[in-house]
Structure 1
């Protein structure tokens, strides 16, 4: 059994959407990348569930968020040095790769938007993928979280302080699993 297959199927985190697992196999993705995508996808599922429960009127596209979390770093298959070091070449490369493989823009966009959460035209789905990409390892970014609070408050009419308290609670709860997710990711080789 290959390391990639194990990274995609080992218990411990939610499985990726089948479409994404097949894509990662076709690309012969690094096992560590597959494990990372599962970790972020797992957190995104928790965020989507929370938003749907607490802010149902917002109508979050949960399918898009989950697909985005599961593919946000797919460009690292083309730029593997960015698996262990800094770099942003994977973002446009991942978007192009997904589009070339027939993935519609509403789902492919997360490969290019997951680090640009400060852009004015970013939607709540993009912010949730960005948030998941940080919370999976217990990294809290106050500016990102404030963008999420502002958007949720504007959509729901709920006071910002109240939205903040709820978001803070769910982020703390999800961040508490960071050690388990980090261990899961590090159990798989980079190449």
Structure 2
């Protein structure tokens, strides 16, 4: 397997895994577009933060995109299991730091997670057009600490990025939802 460094490459891997899993077509019809939306949100989120905050804190945008694409891969195994999804990704040659992003859970414990893992969860939330104030506050705190910028300034910048990504998520949802 060729290395996976971007969201597009991760989506290609995801489609291969979906085909091999012979997953229920109704599930696939919802699952793959959700992953595509999460990658779109991850790109906008990491680009927006980097453009507005600069190079600090260092964020591995590729890891965030890969994590957004593959976070739900555990749903392709029977019975569904995030840990089995991670093992599946490791067997495909994904490095542990990327395969482990498939374990990040919305609403799960956030302390100790890498900033990339937090951004994966946030990208998926924003991709639906929703906002999660508690998660956003945690992300802002981590970004402020890592960047050396004042928390209020990071909050101001991040909030505008988060809202722009969520707005795109709402627009995508309206566009992709059946009338």
State the TM-score, normalizing by the size of structure 2.
0.80
1:176–1:19 Cα change, 3 Å: same
Q: 2 CA distance for matches of 1:131 and 1:97?
A: 24
Give ranges in structure 2 of 5+ residues lacking alignment. 1-6
Q: CA RMSD in A?
A: 2.3
Matched, 1:27 2:26: no
Map 1:1-191 → 2, pairs under 5 A: 16-17=8-9, 18-29=12-23, 30-53=28-51, 54-78=53-77, 89-115=80-106, 118-183=109-174, 186=177
| Shift >6 Å, 4+ stretches | none
Q: Which residues of structure 1 form unaligned runs of 5+?
A: 1-14, 81-88
Three-state SS of the structure 2 residue aligned to 1:109 is: helix
Whole-angstrom distance in 1 between the partners of 2:119 and 2:110: 14
- Once the two structures are TM-superposed, the CA of residue 183 in structure 1 deviates from its matched residue by 4.5
Distance 1:106 1:162 in 2: 30
Secondary structure in 2 aligned to 1:139? coil
Judging changes above 3 Å, is the alpha-carbon distance between structure 1 residues 118 and 45 closer, same or farther for their aligned structure 2 residues? same
Match of 2:4 in 1: none
